[in-house]
Amino acid sequence: MKVLIALFSLSIMANAFATKAAARRLNVLEKAYYNKEFSEKLADLHARGGSGDIVGNGGGLVEQNFQYAYDKAADLIDHCLVYKNCDIDAEDLSTLEEIKLTIISNWGNKERLKFIPAQFEDFFNDEGDYETRIAKTGFDPSFPILINLNLAYRNESFTYDFGAMIAIVIHEVGHQIGIIDHGYLDFLGQALRRETIAQQDNFGIKIVNGKFNIAVLNSGANKLSKPGLYVSFNNKSIPLLNKVTEEIHCPINSELLGFNVENGHFSKPNIILHRVLLQFQSWLTFFCENKETKTVRFFQRDMNMEFYLYRSESDDDFVLNDMIRVKIY
Ligand SMILES: [Zn+2]
């Protein structure tokens, strides 16, 4: 251990002049040391779970939105790279580029995020650290990012805070590429969080027994990608992306690249006894590419979405119905 500390401080000195100290990467020896320690903690956590899985079913809102945030983070980093408007310098941008490549390499990997239930929350306490962390990972992209579900669900507004989730993903992936400094990774995460907030809209109304919310996370400058789009009422959430995509029709011989949803607002709710009809109008801009000429055209339309809340017979509360109508005109 003493040898390691000596190595550690030597390499800090060596690196301080070449690059920002905070962005310093662990060397191979240091990584091996910390990863061994982290692997042991992970094994211990699994052992405590016994034959049952330590990981929850991943079906809750926070879990779904974290998965989305993970994929979306690459888009938002791209936006910073292209427009250089995220208030960070060239070195930070190149670190972000590396984080982006790591994120992309983990697209489709089901092990990349693991959601840890409340009974194992002590896993997120660090020695010499008073606060419980919201997430943890090792110093290699092959480790999962473990998310502390108890903290994630403590604050209702976190559920749709894609900016906060993206900042957490950036921070943790930053550790995976070998950066140890939490403060520096928070700084990078906050830059992306500001960028996300600029692209995100939440449209919410309080109605009957709860809060009805539509969350939209557009892709900004990236015309090739589709927005995050969810409706939720109390504890039920339904993704809307596929429903909208199905209704968008590009001209013959061309295919849909991406779209944005803007300027949303609700019409006055229509409440009749056991049923509430909610209508949400917005502008829709979509991009179609001609398969032969590869030219891209954009189209602007109005969109109307209809949602229903029904009073359930069992507990007298209103619940969001799965039947949703999307009309583009
Ligand atoms: Zn950290």
* 180 plus 283 within the same structural domain: no
Pick 215 or 126 by higher pLDDT.
215
Residues 6+ apart with CB under 8 A from 325: 304, 305, 306
Lowest mean pLDDT segment, chosen from 28-42, 74-88, 258-272 = 74-88
* 158 plus 17 within the same structural domain: yes
How far does CA 287 lie from the centroid of its chain? 24
CA dist 140 to 28, 72, 223, 269, Å? 11, 21, 32, 50
Contact 196, 188 (CB under 8 A): no
- pTM, 2 dp: 0.75
Residues 6+ apart with CB under 8 A from 26: 34, 139, 178, 179, 180
Residue 9, pLDDT score: 47
* 187 plus 87 within the same structural domain: yes
* 281 plus 170 within the same structural domain: no
* 183 plus 291 within the same structural domain: no
The alpha carbon of 235 and the centre of ligand 1 are apart by a number of angstroms equal to 30
The alpha carbon of 308 and the centre of ligand 1 are apart by a number of angstroms equal to 42
Q: Can you tell me the distance from the alpha carbon of 290 to that of 229, in angstroms, rounded to the nearest whole number?
A: 26
Percentage with pLDDT > 70 across the chain: 89
Its domain, for residue 261, covers 208-328
- Residue 133 tokens, joined: 């962390």
* 226 plus 295 within the same structural domain: yes
Q: What is the mean pLDDT of residues 197-201?
A: 81
Q: Which of 131, 166, 199 represents a domain boundary (last residue)?
A: 199
The alpha carbon of 51 and the centre of ligand 1 are apart by a number of angstroms equal to 30
pLDDT at 65 over 90: no
* 167 plus 38 within the same structural domain: yes
Q: Can you tell me the distance from the alpha carbon of 310 to that of 275, in angstroms, rounded to the nearest whole number?
A: 5
Q: What is the mean pLDDT of residues 14-42?
A: 82
* 223 plus 168 within the same structural domain: no
Lowest mean pLDDT segment, chosen from 159-168, 184-193, 196-205 = 196-205
* 177 plus 105 within the same structural domain: yes
Contact 279, 304 (CB under 8 A): yes
Residue 54, pLDDT score: 64
The alpha carbon of 96 and the centre of ligand 1 are apart by a number of angstroms equal to 15
Looking at the 3D structure of the chain, how many domains does it have?
2
pLDDT at 193 over 70: yes
Q: What is the mean pLDDT of residues 163-189?
A: 95
Three-state secondary structure readout of the chain: CHHHHHHHHHHHHHHHCCCCHHHCECCHHHHHHHHHHHHHHHHHHHHHCCCCCCCCCCCCHHHHHHHHHHHHHHHHHHHHHHHCCCCCCHHHHHHHHHHHHHHHHCCCCCCCEEEECHHHHHHHECCCCCCECCEECCCCCCCCEEEEHHHHCCCHHHHHCHHHHHHHHHHHHHHHCCECCHHHHHHHHHHHHHHHHHHEEEEEEEECCEEEEEEEECCCCCCCCCCEEEEEECCEEEECHHHHHHHCCCCCCEEEEEEEEEEEEECCCEEECCEEEEEEEEEEEEEEEECCCCCEEEEEEEEEEEEEEEECCCCCCEEECCCCEEEEC
Residue 64, pLDDT score: 83
Q: Can you tell me the distance from the alpha carbon of 109 to that of 229, in angstroms, rounded to the nearest whole number?
A: 22
* 96 plus 17 within the same structural domain: yes
pLDDT at 227 over 90: no
Pick 280 or 53 by higher pLDDT.
280
Residue 15, pLDDT score: 43
Pick 50 or 125 by higher pLDDT.
125
- Residue 102 tokens, joined: 């790591």
Q: Which of 151, 177, 199 represents a domain boundary (last residue)?
A: 199
Per-residue confidence band for 11, with pLDDT thresholds at 50, 70 and 90: very low
Q: Can you tell me the distance from the alpha carbon of 257 to that of 223, in angstroms, rounded to the nearest whole number?
A: 7
Q: Can you tell me the distance from the alpha carbon of 248 to that of 259, in angstroms, rounded to the nearest whole number?
A: 9
The alpha carbon of 31 and the centre of ligand 1 are apart by a number of angstroms equal to 15
* Residues, CB within 5 angstroms of ligand 1 (ion): 182
The alpha carbon of 23 and the centre of ligand 1 are apart by a number of angstroms equal to 13
Per-residue confidence band for 171, with pLDDT thresholds at 50, 70 and 90: very high
* 182 plus 228 within the same structural domain: no
Residue 128, pLDDT score: 66
The alpha carbon of 111 and the centre of ligand 1 are apart by a number of angstroms equal to 19
Per-residue confidence band for 175, with pLDDT thresholds at 50, 70 and 90: very high
* 152 plus 215 within the same structural domain: no
Lowest mean pLDDT segment, chosen from 3-7, 40-44, 308-312 = 3-7
Per-residue confidence band for 96, with pLDDT thresholds at 50, 70 and 90: very high
Per-residue confidence band for 52, with pLDDT thresholds at 50, 70 and 90: low
Residue 8, pLDDT score: 47
Residue 215, pLDDT score: 87
Q: Which of 154, 169, 199 represents a domain boundary (last residue)?
A: 199
pLDDT at 148 over 80: yes
The alpha carbon of 144 and the centre of ligand 1 are apart by a number of angstroms equal to 14
